[in-house]
Amino acid sequence: MIETRELNTYYGDSHILRGVDAQLPGATAVGLLGRNGMGKTTFIRTLMGYVRPASGQVLADGRNVTGWAPERMARLGIGYVPEGRGIFPNLSVRENLVMAARAGVDGRRDWTFERVMATFPRLSERLSHGGQQLSGGEQQMLSIGRALMTNPRLMILDEATEGLAPLVVAEIWRVIAEIRATGIATLIVDRDWRKVLHHTDRAMVMEKGLITLAGGSAELLAQPEALAQRLGV
Amino acid sequence: MSAAAPMTSPVLPSLPADRLTRGLLVPAAAVAVLAVAAPFLGGYASDLVVKVMILAIFALSLELLVGMTGLVSLGHAAFYGIGAYVTVLASGDEGGNLLVLLVASMGLAALYALVVGALSLRTKGVYFIMVTLAFAQMAFFVFHDTPVGGGSDGIYLYVRPAIGPIDLENRLTLFYVVLAALAGTYGLLALIRRSRFGAALAGIRVSEQRMRAVGFPTYFYKLAAFVIAGALAGLAGCLVAARDGVVNPELLAWHNSGEVLLMIILGGLGHLRGAVLGAVAFTLLKELLSTHALVGPLADHWQLSLGLVIIAFVAWLPRGLIGLVQRISPEGSR
Amino acid sequence: MNGTDALLKVDGLTRRFGGLVAVGNVSLDLRVGEVHAVIGTNGAGKSTLINMLSGEIAASEGRIALERSDITALAQPRRALAGVGRSYQRNTIFAEFTVLENCRLAAQAATPRPWAFWESAARCAASNQAAHEAMEAAGLTAEAQRIAGTMSHGAKRQLEVAMCLATRPRVLLLDEPLAGMGAEETERMLALLSRLKASHAILLVEHDMDAVFRIADRITVMVNGTVIATGAPESIRTNPEVRTAYLGDEVPA
């Protein structure tokens, strides 16, 4: 569904993405692994249109969407859960969710407010609380819930479990599995490569702005040395 | 600007190479021309030129802050007005000693600049602009609402300052004194620009973070620039009081701060000549656009015309008038 | 000065932001002749640490000593003059000035003379001398008259380092000098760091693991604000806690 070809992105003169070729097929869960500083977040920001690539293309369903503004990319059916969550601290939980409500690209509304409440019972107890009053885990759930309210075809989760307690982390992976089961494509960035590979169909490893290893998640799980070399020290 | 610097600043030149004498050739010639022409100028022309020269000093003082250091102040008229009021208040009924009045005006303006600077330089960017504006408004209201300076009507200067044979009541003498002050201000700023102090200010404008990282205590450099700029604005204020013979609170009003900022932008930021050119152009534009003989009924709406002309200038000449000069003679101007 | 004595000694450095401990009880030392790399996972506290060492953020607790003098309370400019130089992840060079002007202005910090407004900055002998030495050390002498903003990314990053050298500091804090560099530029920067190592104590924060393991003499690993290991590169590579931090539990065979 989404494809990038020879993507090159700079921050000023700093060459971060050095020709990234990647595919995110429809209804497929894809993992993006790599140490920090390797360009994973820059890749996502380029995809979403927050940063304009210097060269290369981003294609959605075969259409050239390179340089499209983030709101246009979102309307293609991408739900973005950014690193740091990005919830609105001045709005209540209910408002954070309701403001994002939208039918999907195909017109369906599988994810309604009620369904998000059922998925995240903890949020239903905090509906009138302000965004900034929530714990880290609750904010993460709110961010995921908000993205779901747009009925996306693709969910991008950037470091969704960072800094959270083990119980909350397990909860987040449970939700990710549930999302996958509903047929929404996902792009997951997370430090826990084992969990990522278990929850995805395919995965890519990024090193210094290039994909240096890619394949089926099951295949990669069977190559721990190759992974350790790229993800470890 | 130190805090919200544009990523590329094509408007501003690099550090001045050591071409002090060459760079002063044109300004020196201009001074010479004015000095020679002075006795032949009629009353109206002479008054206009004196007005422009005073505004040029005012503009130069702000150029030190905005163009050289990157500190955008929207409260610079406060120091101008304080200089003017001190001159009148300290003159009394017999008129004052020119030297004493100059020192007092510049000194008190510098003192207020020290206070305002010490507090406002703790802030950055848009907050800095707002704080300088706030302090200027405070000063404005002191003169406007209290009996200190005769309230909103202002006060008259009964006798212009003098020292020895130099009596500012004499129109020609006033002309030469103002010309000398302008030449001195320009020369001082040219020296500063070329000095280590000036180089440090330029560095602060471009990357304050780097300056601190190599060991410059940038706060004190900015404060020094702020105080010097205030003192020079006070000088302009003293001279405008002597020229007009009257002062009123409008001298400290925020639109005066806005006008002087417009002058240096119009003339071209980052160039001393730009500040002078801007003062000349702005004043002439104002005069021309409000002269019935030239623009007919539009003269009554000169502010509208002036606004449109400025918008046109900024759109077509982003580097200001200096940019135009540079296109004609790439030798450039400093 | 004995090459094995610590030039910069950091003791129990801690920084809290409200209830969050960004850096907790970090101790390390920097020695002349050594590159000491600091690596860590996301959010490990490396930026906060380097900001505390340069003086841009105050420490909540702990002590920093430069040649046994306590510099913990010194603000950044004073610390720089005392001998602690810093380069940034994003360039802070003066793009509109030439390379020589960049280095000369940086060097001027050592002989500021701000009141001497009649003297020309460009003719300051001391600053020019120090500037030429810094450019020489960074291999930028040929580019002296070039406008800094027109150089390649690699050259600009070298200038970023050269400007630190202009005031002749003994300690260099380098924040991701290899950021956004290709293979060739990385080689040149590593060569520069090798040359500088001899007379400086270098702290290197970097993500490029290959480069780190090539150039570092000692490595400190931080996770969640604390140090989990310090030692020679080989010992870090085989350290089980470090492996766990990067790769999770159930270390692969």
Q: What is the CATH number of the domain that holds A122?
A: 3.40.50.300
* Number of structural domains in chain A: 1
Distance from CA of B102 to the nearest CA of C (A): 22
What whole-number percentage of chain C has pLDDT above 90? 86
Mean pLDDT to the nearest integer, B126-144: 96
Q: Does A181 touch chain C (CB under 8 A)?
A: no
Region B197-215: what's the mean pLDDT?
Answer: 96
Length of chain C: 253
Q: What is the pLDDT of residue B16?
A: 52
Please give the mean pLDDT across all residues of chain C.
92
Q: How far is residue C164's CA from residue C175's CA, in Å, rounded to a whole number?
A: 12
The per-residue pLDDT for B4 is 41
Chain A, chain C: beta-carbon pairs less than 8 Å apart: 68
| pLDDT value for B6 | 40
Quote the pLDDT of residue B78.
Answer: 98
pLDDT surpasses 70 at B246: yes
Nearest CB partner across the interface for B210, out of C93, C110, C121: C93
- B26 in contact with C, Cβ within 8 Å: no
Its pTM surpasses 0.80: yes
**C235 interfaces chain A, CB cutoff of 8 Å:** no
Residue A163: domain span:
2-231
> Does the ipTM exceed 0.85?
yes
Identify the residue among C105, C123, C170, C171 best suited for mutation to test binding to B, counting B beta carbons within 10 A and taking the highest: C105
As a whole number, mean pLDDT of residues B138-142 equals 96
Contact in structure between C166 and C142 (CB atoms under 8 Å): no
* Interchain contact C178–A (C-beta under 8 A): no
Rounded to a whole number, what is the distance in Å from the CA of C140 to chain A's nearest CA?
Answer: 18
Asked if C213 and A225 come within 8 Å (Cβ–Cβ), the reply is: no
Using the Cβ of B206 and the Cβ atoms of chain C, whether some distance falls under 8 Å is answered with yes
Domain ranges of chain C: 1-83+169-253, 96-168
Q: Is the pLDDT of residue C247 over 90?
A: no
Instruction: For chain A, give percent helix, strand, coil, nearest 5.
Output: 35, 25, 35
Residue C1 has a pLDDT of 44
pLDDT value, residue B32: 95
Q: Which residue has the tokens 């973070």?
A: B209
Q: What percent of chain C has pLDDT over 70?
A: 96
Do residues B208 and B83 make contact, with C-beta atoms less than 8 angstroms apart? no
The band of C4, judged by pLDDT with boundaries at 50, 70 and 90, is: low
CB atoms within 10 A of CB B240: 24
CA angle B132, B137, B142 (to 5 degrees): 130
Measured CA to CA, the distance from residue C206 to residue C209 in angstroms comes to 8
What's the pLDDT at B328? Answer: 73
Residue C90 has pLDDT above 80, yes or no: yes
pLDDT at A217 exceeding the cut of 60: yes
User: What mean pLDDT is predicted for residues B74-90?
Assistant: 96
Compute CA distances C175 → B43, C40, C49, C207, whole Å.
Answer: 65, 13, 11, 10
Residues of C in contact with A10 (CB under 8 A): 180
Would you call C88 an interface residue with chain A, using a CB distance cutoff of 8 Å? Answer: no
Q: What is the pLDDT of residue C250?
A: 57
Rounded to whole angstroms, what are the CA distances from B51 to B58, B111, B158, C28? 11, 25, 19, 65
Instruction: Note whether C232 contacts A: Cβ–Cβ < 8 A.
Output: no
Residue B334 has pLDDT above 50, yes or no: no
Q: Say what the pLDDT of residue B291 is.
A: 86
Rounded to the nearest 10 degrees, what angle do helices C153-165 and C99-108 cross at? 20
Mean pLDDT of C47-76: 95
In this prediction, residue B10 carries a pLDDT of: 37
Q: What is the pLDDT of residues A47-93, one digit of tens each?
A: 999 999 999 999 999 999 999 999 999 999 999 999 988 899 999 99
Kindly determine whether residue A14 and residue C179, on different chains, have CB atoms separated by under 8 Å. yes
d(CA C127, CA A191): 48
pLDDT one-digit tens code per residue, A139-177: 999 999 999 999 999 999 999 998 888 889 999 999 999
CATH class of domain segment(s) C1-83+169-253: alpha beta
Condensed to tens digits (0 to 9), the pLDDT of residues A6-58 reads 999 999 889 999 999 999 999 999 999 999 889 999 999 999 999 999 999 99
- Structure confidence at residue B18 (pLDDT): 52
C115 contacts in chain B (CB < 8 Å): 197
3-state secondary structure of C123: coil
Can you tell me the mean pLDDT for B129-157?
A: 93
Q: What is the pLDDT of residues B83-96, one digit of tens each?
A: 999 999 999 888 88
**Amino acid letter, C112:** P
pLDDT of B272 reads: 95
pLDDT, tens digit, for every residue of B275-319?
A: 999 999 999 999 889 888 887 888 888 888 888 988 898 888 888
Using CB atoms and an 8 Å cut-off, which of residues 28-67 of chain A contact chain C? Answer: 35-38
Average the pLDDT over B17-27 and give the result.
76
| Whether pLDDT at B333 is above 50 | no
**pLDDT of B11 over the 70 cut:** no
Report the pLDDT value the prediction gives residue A151, as an integer from 0 to 100.
Answer: 95
Q: Do C80 and B206 touch (CB under 8 A)?
A: no
Paired strand residues for C16: C21
C7 touches chain A (CB under 8 A): no
- Pairing mode of beta strands A2-11, A14-24: antiparallel
- Please provide the distance, in angstroms rounded to a whole number, between the alpha carbons at the two ends of chain B: 19
C252·A11 Cβ contact <8 A: no
Tokens representing residue A232 in the block: 């470890």
DSSP B293-319: HHHGGGGGGHHHHHHHHHHHHHHH-TT
Minimal C-alpha gap between B135 and chain C (Å): 27
Inter-chain CB proximity C77 and B216 less than 8 Å: yes
Query: Is a pLDDT exceeding 50 seen at residue B169?
Result: yes
Q: What is the pLDDT of residue B325?
A: 77
* pLDDT above 90 (res C32): yes
Q: Which of C39, C250, C223 lies closest to A224 in space, CA to CA?
A: C250
What is the least distance, in Å, from the CA of C211 to any CA of chain A? 11
Chain C residues in contact with chain B using a Cβ-Cβ cutoff of 8 Å: 54, 75-78, 80-81, 85-86, 88, 92-98, 101, 105-106, 108-124, 127, 147, 149, 163-164, 166-167
Each residue of C103-124: pLDDT tens digit?
Answer: 999 999 999 999 999 999 999 9
Q: Does pLDDT of B14 surpass 90?
A: no
> For residue C148, what are the contacts with CB-CB under 8 A and spacing of at least 6?
C93, C94, C95, C96, C97, C98, C99, C102, C156, C159
pLDDT tens track for B97-112: 999 999 999 999 999 9
Q: Residue A167 corresponds to which tokens in the numbers above?
A: 């119980």
Nearest CA in chain C to B17: C122
> CB under 8 Å to C95, separation ≥6 — which residues?
B8, B206, C147, C148, C149
Range of lowest pLDDT (A128-132, A185-189, C218-222):
A128-132
- pLDDT for the residue numbered C252: 47
Contacts of C109 in chain B (CB under 8 A): 211, 214-216
